[in-house]
């Protein structure tokens, strides 16, 4: 199951905090698609995923200052 988390408009570190909270609710194997526009999160979210051992299955810039990343709970 893929869940979506829209954090566009939130300032850092809130996209990461919201992603951490949502990921706790998911089952192993589920994925979380996070849309964000905070430039600090372009490093913070992938770093957090790596620290937790969560695979990043998609990561792309979708606008001038907006990104999407999909992280799988492992």
Residues labelled as active-site residues: 12
How far is Cα 24 from Cα 41, in angstroms, rounded to an integer? Answer: 19
Q: Are 41 and 11 in contact (CB under 8 A)?
A: no
> In the beta sheet, which residues pair with residue 52?
none
Torsion sign over Cα 71, 26, 41, 68: positive
């Amino acid at each position: 199951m893929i869940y979506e988390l829209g954090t566009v408009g939130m300032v850092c570190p809130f996209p990461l905090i919201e992603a951490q909270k949502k990921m706790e609710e998911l089952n192993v194997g589920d994925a979380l698609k996070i849309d964000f526009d905070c430039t600090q999160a372009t490093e913070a979210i992938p770093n957090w995923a790596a620290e937790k051992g969560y695979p990043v299955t998609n990561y792309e810039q979708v606008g001038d200052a907006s990104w999407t990343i999909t992280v799988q709970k492992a």
